[in-house]
Amino acid sequence: MRFVAVIYDGEGKILSQQSNATELALQGKNYVRHSINGSLDDYYVASGEVREKGAQPSEGHVFNYATGAWDLDIALAQSKKWVAIKAARQAQEHGAFHWNGHSFQCDEISQMRMQAAVQAAIIDDAISMVWTLADNTTQTFNATELRQIGKALSEHVKECHDRGRMLRAQIDAATTQEELEAIVW
């Protein structure tokens, strides 16, 4: 007689579903006669029954097959939070910065261009450059202004990383999901 079988490991984690299964083909495997519609990852086996795991509370939660519940893995949750904070830090660092009422692009290429302009301004006090601003308008800056803009860029990047380090310390100190959720960029 053929049937649909859910195959699982010793903890209850579902490994596969086999249609058209036979007792002989499943010999030596943990299985239950059951058909799952949907993702196998949403279910587990306990006491010979297929059960739903329920919604994962956060990316930092892992399913505990022994208890049938989602447990917070604080190290995983901290790691996920740090990834999110780093992404926010990078977005701000590479977004825009402001100096003297002007908004400047701050992506990696723009930062390299600004560094080159600052170097030129250090070498030549008489230099003057037309710069395209973040809104695509242009403005002419002299050597002193270019050095000041370069300093503003440096301060912008430093502030982003200082804030990132402060938030990293908070993440490392967090012991609950609620504490991690309270940490925002």
Q: Which residues pair with 21 in a beta bridge?
A: 3
pLDDT score recorded for residue 78: 98
Residue 53 has pLDDT above 90, yes or no: yes
pLDDT, position 152: 98
User: Is pLDDT of 81 > 90?
Assistant: yes
pLDDT at 35: 93
Residue 83: pLDDT band with limits 50, 70, 90: very high
Question: For position 89, what pLDDT does the model report?
Answer: 98
What pLDDT, on the 0 to 100 scale, is given for residue 178?
A: 95
Cβ 77 vs Cβ 44: under 8 Å = no
Share of the chain above pLDDT 70, in %: 100
Q: Which whole number is the average pLDDT over 83-101?
A: 97
**Torsion angles phi and psi, residue 60, rounded to 5:** -90, 0
Count of other CB atoms within 10 angstroms of residue 128: 12
Round the average pLDDT of the chain to a whole number and report it.
96
Average pLDDT over residues 10-31: 94
Is the pLDDT at 1 greater than 90? The verdict is: no
End-to-end CA distance of the chain: 59
pLDDT value at position 30? Answer: 96
User: What is the rounded CA–CA span in Å between residue 140 and residue 146?
Assistant: 10
Which runs of consecutive H residues, i.e. helices, occur in the chain? 74-93, 108-123, 143-173, 177-181
Phi, psi of 167, deg, nearest 5: -70, -35
* Predicted pLDDT at 31: 96
Q: How far is it, in rounded angstroms, from Cα 149 to Cα 115? A: 10
Residue 109 pLDDT > 90: yes
Q: Is 146 helix (H, G, I), strand (E, B) or coil?
A: helix
